[in-house]
Structure formats: structure tokens, C-alpha cells
Structure 1
Amino acid sequence: MALFITNTPTPTATVPIRRSTTTIVKNPFLLSLPRTRTRRVSRMAAARASGGAGAARSSLIDPDGGALVELVVPAGERAARREEAAAMPRVPLGRADLEWAHVLAEGWASPLGGFMRESEYLQSLHFNSLRMADGSFVNMSVPIVLAIGDAEKEAIGDSPDVALAGPGGDLVAILRRVEIYKHHKEERIARTWGTTAPGLPYVEAAIDPAGDWLIGGDLEVLEPIKYNDGLDHYRLSPRELREEFDRREADAVFAFQLRNPVHNGHALLMNDTRRRLLEMGYKNPILLLHPLGGFTKEDDVPLDVRMEQHSKVLEEGVLDPKTTIVAIFPSPMHYAGPTEVQWHAKARVNAGANFYIVGRDPAGMGHPTEKRDLYDPDHGKKVLSMAPGLEKLNILPFRVAAYDTVEKKMAFFDPSRAKDFLFISGTKMRTYARSGESPPDGFMCPGGWQVLVNYYKSLQAEETGAAVAV
């Protein structure tokens, strides 16, 4: 397995690990800085300049911009803000919009302080990065924007501030000092996905039906966003993760994102990564197993099933609970390949991870109209190794794992005996589970596999019941 190590000295037993202090900026909208149309990323500059209201230690890596931007209104001010919001023009949030508000609120997109205004949007769309006030860059490859229609634009009129209402109509946030600009959908889609072919899941769900205007501004989230789905305890914010890393005295954190159940091949590469970090001189590397929890396409395994499956992986000792943290990353999924994988890596920097595992075709998918991959499978890891603004993150490409039919277990692929290896794709895995056919012994822990079998049995029962009802 090749390691791309960027600007990080190898620790040794004789050199103590330095612990730095990370400034946490709460509610940078309280800074009340003047806004002008020509001032670029002024919110980020303000956040960086502020000393902040609190601090959380970061022994590993500073967040982008030097400050973790948190946008949730303090508890003592929420009633007054809610009363103020009730009198404002309202903008409805769809499911993905709410997830992006959650991402912004907790600082995953630091130093961004709200839905993007036009200058930020254009930088993100065309440069995959944002320029700070001091001339430095932070990576920002996926635009975080909010769309509105003609009716909402007319209702807002000249109002400088708007209230954001959740899918159920409840007030979620205030957007201050708003800027409204044109939503050029074709340009956005082409620049983000590299194609405008029909059938892109996020485009069909969140962009095609969206309005023809974008509205940006400084975000104030009225209270922490919860989903009340029994999984909120897994949704640890960047601040909470940094605190947990320090509690466990981690001297390295390596993050692994996935949107599928964990099989023994995944576990092999995660355990192998920890072994290699120990060989490099780290004393307590901690794994952040960080499944994506926002919008996913319909044929992906649902989040609650994945989380139950992940818990079985830890219960059965496939991964060590003492050196593993399982948490949900709240971002929606674009399936935008090398463009999106930069966002996934950047967000983990803000959570305190200083190593990021990347494999074949990260954030990719099959072409929506042709029988081929939409992206080159190797481009994601290549882009990450040279992406502007990610220089401080250590990128760990891994070798491909497959089922070794001789050894009867998941192992790293050996080209010299390629015929001995069986590749079990996510599609093949789901086919096994749907049909009740067991995968080869050693592919996945028994408890985790049973979770998937039970899920697909429940789907079949629902389909049968629906057919009978018709």
C-alpha cells in the first residue's frame, strides 16, 4: 500500500507530540462586519480574525482558516431569535437543504459562514477553492447553495434577512444580509459532475426541481438540528469529535468514509492502515469510521441498516472498539467523483483527522446512460494528492482487496495469481442478500451479514404486501 505523506514529520518515541489549541468561533454573524458586494469571503476573514468564544484542543490538525466556525445560536438567545424570525419572509428547505444547513451549522464547511453568495459560489464552482483575506486558499470543491423560485424571490423583495423553514414548516434558521443571484443549473451540473447526462441522482432529486435563483447569506441556526430517528447520538460534530480524539489521547486520526456496509475487505485495509501508522512511530492511531448520512441514491443501503451493520462489525471484533470511533457524516451525497472527494476530505480536516483513506473510484458511480464508470477509478486519489488547500492532509491510497478463494478470506489483490481472487461488488453483495444466498465464508462477519439479509427480507415482504393490496 502506497502512502502519500505531505508535510508531516514522522513521530518518534523521543519527540513528544505537540498539542495545539484550536479556536472555536461561535456565531460569527454577531461580528456585525459591514458587507459590500466587492468584499470577497468577508465572513471567512471575520471568522479567522476573531478570537472566538470557546476553545477545543486539537492535537492533530487545525481546521481550515484556523477556526472552527459554529453557527448555532446560543441557548439564551434562541427565543428572541425565533420571535424575530417569525416576522421575516420565509424560504422553505427541502431535505438536502436541511442537511446542508446542518453541515454549515456544525462547522464541517469551515470557514464558510452560511449558504454561498455569488463570489463564493463562483470560486467553488470554477476553482474548487476559496481565497482567504490573507491570500491563502482553502479547499471547497462542492458549492453549498440554497435555491429559491420566483415566488420566494418576489416575497423576499428588499428584505435583508429571511427565515428558513424545515420540511415540516418549523423555523430552522435565519439567513442574514442576503444576496440573490441567478441559478445557472446547466453550468453548475456540468462543472460539478463533468456531464449533463440525465439520471444523476442528486441532480434529479435536488437541482432539477429547484428554483432558478440562489440565495446566500450569513446563517444563524436557531437550535441544533436533530432528526429524531434513533441515530442522533452518532451524529458527532467536529467539535465533539476533536474532544473525543483528545479524550482517547490520539496522536493520529485516520478517516474512512463509506456509504456501504463494512465487509472484511474494508476492515483489512483499515486495520492495515493502523498497523502501518504504528510502524511509522505513532503510538495511538484512532480510526474514524465515518459513513455518509445525508442524501443517497435509492439503491444504496439505508443509513439505519448500515449503522446496525457497523455496530455488529465492532461487536464481533472485526474492528477494535477501543481504537475506532463510529460517527455519521451529515452531508448529502453528490456522486461527483474526484470533485466531491475533495469535499469529503476537507470536511474531515475540520473534524480533526490528519489522515484520509482513499480507494478506487471514491464518490463515483456508474455512468447514468452508458455501461461504464462515470469517472476514471484512479483519478480521485490522484486529485487528492495535489488538490489546492489540502496540502496539510495526509492521503493514504490503499491496495484493492478481494476474496482470496485459496485462503478463503478477504486479502489484498495479488496480480501474480489474479485467477484466485473473486471481486464482490456492492451490486453483487446486494444480490446475494436479496436472494438469500450466502457470500463466501470470510467475506463479512456473520452478524453484519444477517443484518443485510433481514433488511432485504423486509423489503420483499413489503413488496409482496403491496402487490397483494393492489
Structure 2
Amino acid sequence: MFLTIKLHIATQLNLNLHANKISTCTNYNTKIRSKPICNPNSLILKVKDHIPTMHAVHSSSRPVKSSLIEPDGGALVDLVVPESKRASKALEAESLPKVNLTQIDLEWVHVISEGWANPLRGFMREDEYLQSLHFNSLRMKDGSLVNMSLPIVLAIDEETKGRIGSSSNVGLVGPNGGLVGILRSIEIYKHNKEERIARTWGTTAPGLPYVEEVITPAGNWLIGGELEVLTPIKYNDGLDNYRLSPQQLRNEFDRRQADAVFAFQLRNPVHNGHALLMNDTRKRLLEMGYKNPILLLHPLGGFTKVDDVPLDVRMEQHSKVLEDGVLDPETTIVAIFPSPMHYAGPTEVQWHAKARINAGANFYIVGRDPAGMSHPTEKRDLYDPDHGKKVLSIAPGLEKLNILPFRVAAYDTVEKKMEFFDPSRSQDFLFISGTKMRAFARSGENPPDGFMCPGGWNVLVKYYESLQAEEPSKQRAVLST
């Protein structure tokens, strides 16, 4: 999958711009560091402390509100127990049958509890699961649809099911052994893994990362119910300050008096092609008449596959991008999206877009082959690279989200920088894949000047150097064993 090329923003059908304008460390591919490699406050301070003085963008004296798009299903859910009730809820949870959570289960608890999956109020019961699995949406009581393309479910095994018995509530225990919350009015139903995998990924080929990590070892039953979380989910990895909830983001957009919010989801380092895309999007929004469009740079922070760059490295790299002025800190908010990654292509990209609606973004940027990956057993892309952007333009429940068209970007060997691809001089453009970028970093070879800011590139080189330094010690350990 090319990281540096064919960056698009899909065309939204029935778009009416004028009408709309008024924990534990989550990096599974590296050992947990005792000390984060980036300052957890540096990026937040850069983003929040450089706020320009805003002029009124409407003739009305009423303060500008950036919450231009309502959360799915109405008000945002907040499933964290009020502090005054936590002690009694913890005692109740202790008395209930227990369900043990994996690290990825905990990430989903985090997602649900803050309203990213609004209006979902817990792990899915069977009717919600089937709607999500077969229709990629949920029907509300008023007959409207909200997008819900990924099943958000909790698996249990036979032994846990027997221990629960006839209890209608269960306590949830985190990976570290502490109580996390309560699941109420539960429903237990069969976990048909093959159906779930086939419907979500469109294949049952071996080697799908999320399937191997989460679904294959999971139990044969699913348990759904309404969630209560005893305390806000924290990971204590030095990055919790970046994990802003949908409500916190909406508050920040309001504070900055944004009149448009455009979100960019990524799970890779930011190179200058990404920056070109984001900066040009802001320029286009200004040309449409918006006065203060704000960028939500929103890297994915949950489970990722083993060869992806770890979250802490990505966050340090993003910080350098801001320090080097590639993106403007005054008009950019960097925050972590806590969802695990499925690599389910057009199915998953709907989830990524839907979640940003709940955070208040009313524009969404989508690139080539979003949420895709190479086929696990064949030498080809698992999904059509253009299907993600096409699906976003027609997906039920995403009609209110603006998705704009965009152009291809690549490295211009004449101008020595990332530029929009010009077919009339195609021989001047170089397409650098993510694999090639990682090969450069591993070998210590520099990419072409203008591909990535020097500070950000140095972060990647140091990361891959650290991996190479670990290899001899791992080999010695194996030999001694």
C-alpha cells in the first residue's frame, strides 16, 4: 500500500456545503518502554498554547460554535461512573461474576465509554451485532439509521459462561487484575467466528492480524449489555494527555471558534505528502468561505499489526512535524484515536469516519486504500484501492459528513518536494511506498530531500536503529536457551 501517493478525499453524494456551513501500552509490536521517548506535554502545548486571536465569523454577536455536526443518535454518551458513586459501584462489581478483559477488550471499553461509538451504550447484544455485521448500520427507534460498520463485541469462553450462570450483571476485570466496570442486563449469544470474519473482511484467508490476535483465540460466546466504567481508562504510557474524548475535542473546537473541522486519520508517520494534502484541504475550505477551519490530526492509538510504527514513535514524529512548521500548530489539534485497528478496508473506513462525526468533525479526508493491507497469502492488495473513498460517499448513516474530492500526490524530482501528480510529466514523479520508506529508515539511507521533515525522519531512523540493536541480544538469548 502506497503511503505517499494517490491521496484522495472521496466525493460525498448529496453534498450541500452551503447548507452545512452555518492502560497498558497499546503498541503490540514493541516491548513497553519504561520511559516514553517523547514528551507527553510537548505536542499538547504546541497545539493549545499558540491560538490566534479570532475575529467574529458571523455578523451575529452569538459565539461561534464548532459543533457543526450532531453526534450519531443525539447527545454523546458518557459511561464513566460519577466520582461520588464509584466506591459503591466498585463494591457491587466485586460481588458479581467476573469477565476478564484482554488489552484489546479494554481498548473497546475505552471507545464505548467516551462516545466514539455513539449511540452504543455497551458491548453489542445480538440484534445490534447482526445489524452491524449484515447492514453496517443500526436502526434507531425513530426509524433513522446510524452507521456502525464494525461489530463491537466481547467474547467469553464456555467456562466464563458457566460461571455467570443466570446472573443479569457481570463485573469486568482488566488485564492488570483491577476492576474496570459493570456490564448490565446482559445477553449471551453464539460467536460464529467464520461468519464474523467473512462478513467483516470479505475473506477468511489466514494471516489477518486482528483475526489472529483477537478472534481466533477468543471464546465461542459473545456477551452484550449496558456498560458502566468505574474510572476513566488510562494507559499510563506517557501519552494519556493526547487521548482527548469526543466531548473534550468538541470543547476545544468551540474554544478555538472553529467554523469547520476536518479530520485526518492515519497510522503511519506524517510525510510531506500527507502535509500537502492537509494544508491544501484547509486552503480549499478557506476558499469556500470558512474563516477558521481546524485540522484534527488523529492517529490511531489502539492495536496495530507487528510491522507498523509504534504509537509512541509516531507521536514523537508528529511532534517534530509541528516543530518544523510543516503543519501549523495554531490551526492543528493532535489527539489519539483509541480504537484498535482491523485492517478491514472499506468496511473499517466507515467506522473511522463515523467516530469522527461523534468528535465533532464535519469534514473527513480519506486516502488511497484506507484501512487496507496487502493480501495475507497473495501478492496483491486485499481491497480495491478506490473502494474506500467510494463507499464513504454512499454509506448509510454518513450522509451528514462532508467528504471532498482530492488529487494524487507524489515526489516531484524536478521541484524536489512532494507535489500533486501532473500526468503531463509523469516521468518527473517518484512514488515511494511505505515499504520503501521503512527500508530507507532501517538502512539509515535518507529519502529524497523534501519527502519528510528532517526532525521527523530522524525519529524514524533512531527507532529502526533501536530495533537493530535489540536483534543481537535476542539471538544470544535464543542460543543460550
TM-score (norm 1): 0.90
Which residue of structure 1 lines up, in the alignment, with residue 364 of structure 2?
Answer: 356
What is the rounded CA distance, in whole Å, between the counterparts of 1:2 and 1:144 in structure 2?
27
Could you tell me how far 1:420 is from its partner in structure 2?
1.2
1:122 and 1:276, CA in 2 relative to 1: closer, same or farther beyond 3 A? Answer: same
Per the alignment, in what secondary structure is the counterpart of residue 67 of structure 1?
Answer: coil
Task: Classify the secondary structure of the residue corresponding to 1:9.
Answer: helix
| Residue pairs, 1:100-179, within 5 angstroms | 100-179=108-187
Residue of structure 2 aligned with 1:197, choices 205, 223, 229: 205
Mapped partners of 1:87, 1:17: distance in 2: 56
SS in 1 for 2:99: strand
1:132 and 1:415 mapped to 2: Cα distance?
A: 47
What displacement does 1:20 show?
10
**Does the CA contact (< 8 Å) of 2:9 and 2:366 recur in 1?**
no
Q: SS at the partner of 1:325?
A: strand
Match of 1:66, SS?
A: coil
Could you tell me how far 1:4 is from its partner in structure 2? 3.2
Partners of 1:347 and 1:14 in 2: how far apart? 27
CA shift digits 1:258-293 (9 cap, x unpaired)? 000000000000000000000000000000000000
Question: What is the alpha-carbon distance in structure 2 between the residues aligned to residue 230 and residue 15 of structure 1?
Answer: 40
Tell me which residue corresponds to 1:4: 11
Distance in 2 separating the partners of 1:154 and 1:14: 60
Where 2:299 maps in the other structure, the secondary structure is: coil
Unaligned residue ranges in structure 1 (runs of 5+): 22-56
Q: Alpha-carbon deviation of 1:464?
A: 1.8
CA distance in structure 2 between the aligned counterparts of 1:248 and 1:58, rounded to whole angstroms: 8
Query: Where does residue 53 of structure 1 map in the other structure?
Result: none
1:3 to 1:204, Cα distance in 2 relative to 1, 3 A: closer
Shift of 1:7: 3.2
Q: CA deviation at 1:15?
A: 5.8
Which residue does 1:304 correspond to in 2? Answer: 312
Contact 1:19 1:60 in 2 (8 A): no
Aligned residues: 435
Equivalent position amino acid for 1:409 in 2:
K
Q: Which one-letter code corresponds to 2:440 in the other structure?
A: Y
Distance 1:191 1:73, change over 3 A: same
Are 2:330 and 1:330 aligned?
A: no
Change (3 A) 1:397 1:292: farther
Equivalences for 1:1-400 in 2 at 5 Å? 4=11, 6-9=15-18, 11=21, 59-400=67-408
Rate the CA distance shift 1:61–1:455 in 2: closer, same or farther, 3 A: same
Cα contact 2:156–2:218 (8 A) shared by 1: yes
* Whole-angstrom CA distance in 1 between matches of 2:254 and 2:135: 34
Are 2:411 and 2:429, in contact at CA under 8 Å, matched by a contact in 1?
Answer: yes
Unaligned runs of 5+ in 2: 1-7, 23-55
What CA RMSD, in Å, does the superposition of the two structures yield over aligned residues? 1.7
Does 236-245 or 392-401 show the bigger shift? Answer: 392-401
Give every structure 1 segment of 4 or more consecutive aligned residues whose post-TM-superposition deviation is greater than 3 Å.
1-5, 10-21
Give a deviation string over 1:119-175, Cα, whole Å, max 9, x none: 000000000000000000000000000000000000000000001111111110100
- Which residue is 1:52 aligned to? none
Partners of 2:116 and 2:282 in 1: how far apart?
A: 25
Bigger mean CA offset, 10-19 vs 221-230: 10-19
Supply the AA of the counterpart residue of 1:7: N
Q: How far apart, in 1, do the equivalents of 2:379 and 2:61 lie? A: 50
Task: Quickly say closer, same or farther: Cα 1:17–1:71, change in 2 above 3 A.
Answer: farther
Measured in 1, the distance between the counterparts of 2:378 and 2:457 equals 31
Secondary structure, counterpart of 2:394 in structure 1: coil
Which of 430, 445, 449 is equivalent to 2:457?
A: 449
Paired residues of 2:154 and 2:223 also in contact (CA < 8 A): yes
Structure 2 contact 66–261 (Cα < 8 Å) conserved: no
1:2 offset after TM fit, Å? 6.7
Pair 1:428-2:433 in alignment: no
Residues 358 and 398 in structure 1, CA contact (< 8 A), matched pair in contact too: no
How many Å separate the matches in 2 of 1:432 and 1:212? 43
Asked if the contact 1:199–1:369 (Cα under 8 Å) also holds between the matched residues in 2, the reply is: yes
Query: What is the CA distance between 1:16 and its match in structure 2?
Result: 5.3
Distance of 2:427 and 2:438 partners within structure 1: 23
Instruction: Determine what percentage of the aligned residue pairs are the same residue.
Output: 78
Partner residue, 2:42:
none
Aligned letter for 1:128? Answer: N
Query: Quick check: 1:367–1:373 contact (8 Å CA) kept in 2?
Result: yes
Q: 1:390–1:175: structure 2 CA closer, same or farther, 3 Å change rule?
A: same
In structure 2, the CA distance between the partners of 1:249 and 1:14, relative to structure 1 (3 Å rule), is closer
Letter in 2 for 1:356: Y
* Cα displacement string for residues 334-385 of structure 1 (whole angstroms, at most 9, x for unaligned residues): 0000000000000000000000001100000000000000000000000000
Give the SS at the match of 1:219.
strand
Change (3 A) 1:16 1:425: farther
| Counterpart in the other structure of 2:28 | none
Name which structure has the greater RCO, CA cutoff 8 Å, separation 6+. Answer: 2
Q: Is the 8 A contact 2:121 2:226 kept in 1?
A: yes
Partners of 1:7 and 1:392 within 8 A in 2 = no
- Cα drift, residue 58 of structure 1: 5.2
* AA in 2 matched with 1:169: G
Match for 1:403: what amino acid? Y
* 1:18 to partner: Cα distance: 11
TM-score normalised per structure 2? 0.88
Aligned residue type for 1:231: L
Mapped partners of 2:456, 2:356: distance in 1? 26
Cα deviation per residue 1:209-241 (whole Å; 9 max; x = unaligned)?
000000000000000000000000000000000
- The one-letter amino acid of 2:133's match is L
Quote how far apart the aligned CAs of 1:19 are: 7.9
